[in-house]
Structure 1
Amino acid sequence: MNDAVALTPAGCVAGARPGLAERPELLRLEHVKKRFRGGVEALRDMNLTVNTGDFMSLLGPSGCGKSTALRLIAGLMQPSAGRIEMLSGKGAKHGPDVGPDIGVVFQEPTLMPWARVAENVWLPWRLQGRSYADARDDVLEALKLVGLEKFQRAFPRELSGGMRMRVSIARALVTKPRLLLMDEPFAALDEITRFRLNNDLLALREAIGCTVIFVTHSVFESVFLSDRIVVMGARPGRVIRELEVDAPYPRDEAFRTSATYAAHCREASDALHHAMGEAA
């Protein structure tokens, strides 16, 4: 994603970010529990604080509730117990409409195949009752951020897998959210495309300054992207450990081969192995 423009949503600050200890709280989960109707307890007593400007990865074994936690934060489902609170602004809405304060990128692009790229990106504003004519500048701005402004009239079938995911990211950003939630968005892509989109995501994050919560199974991806890694235990999910990746941004290929990166990967891997051995 080249020639990114500076997009600064409310509550986001482009450019230099304060240190972790200096960031104001944005989101808080207190004693959150989620039990599904079939009796499966996905989360138990999950406590988490997200600060403005964080790039936080949720790392944990399959089935530990990472995606469930993300959907609860988005307001796409209700917790069985506990409290989720946005500490400023309108906060998450419960139901199918997550509201303009939160953008969500799912594991699959989930684009409308019959609609052109620009119409797919317009969708969040359309659900808010805003016409395309009124939202057009926001749509084009979001597409420019992900390097796809020249593909606004293309259909999803005409794009590569990586390009379709970029459209999904643009759709999540079009409302200028304060919080971007990403649920393993690159897991289905080949390694080369995944590395490229990791690089692009960090460049995008530098441009817009948004808070990001990123779900991943990959130790290497979590270390490359994040300044905070939250390791979750096996089901029922809860926070086992938090790690800080103190390497400065921007990060590039040199960081991936550095001793600092390797050390953080070892630490995260050890924490993940411990989490996988946790008894419910």
Structure 2
Amino acid sequence: MIGLHTHETVSATGTLTGDGDDATGFASGEYTTPDAFPQARRSSVERVHRLLSSFDYEHTRLRLSELSRRAGLPLSTTHRMVTELLELGMLERDEDNFLCVGVAVWKFGLLTPKTYGIQRVALPFMQDLYATTRLPIHLGIPQGNQTTIVESLRPQGTGQERPRIGQRDPLHVTAVGTALLAFCDSGFQERYLTDLKDHQGADAPEMIRRELAQTRATGCAISKRKTAPNIAIGAPVLDRAGRPLGAVSLVVPEGTSTPPYDHLIRCTARAVQRTAWEQGVA
């Protein structure tokens, strides 16, 4: 298994290497007892996650030293784990010998039910809406206190490249996220708003609370927080219990009248929802 070594070695310079030199703070003796193995496995998975999470759209290729620094792991640990990840196809090297995310990770991602199922169902309807409007269309799913974009159709040109697939934002800052949050259960909403109050002050939750009520009343959320001066309109896709599976949004130019675009995005979300129910995705 990846990185599950139960011993440490000392380099020629006297530096401790192996599992004991990582950033988890485990002492060398902790890996020698059976009870320590579950903890060692968790820390190994965490280190792999930290390595893979070091890659993003701005850092798609990294040198070993850069990967070590961004992951917060010692160079010796990074080198050892990268060697294993290369053998497993989870990392690859490009023509310039930079490290990149491997095809194996991409294949795993394709199997994620929360993304694959709803993305597969929604894409044809998103394509129809894009053919009608030629405006940016996005699909997001809830992930804890954030929304993650899992599909995006947009025209070429400056300013139309974001959000990118995989981008995550707090629920309240996008139309997709607001549409999701408005249909989460009330307990989750209150916890979210309480946390927002702690970080942004007393006024922020009340403003968001009004937006959530408006979204539930109209069936769509309207926001400019991430798209200003353009306007984003989002509508939820719900499961049979009324919980949000995802949300689709349309970004219209500044000064555009919201109707009929709010009607179009609601119709698209409902078509996705109906098909998801029929295909057992919901």
Do they superpose with TM above 0.5? no
More helix by share: 2
Structure index of larger Rg: 2
Q: So what's the TM-score if we normalise by structure 2? A: 0.28
Larger RCO, structure (CA 8 Å, separation 6 or more): 1
Q: So what's the TM-score if we normalise by structure 1? A: 0.28
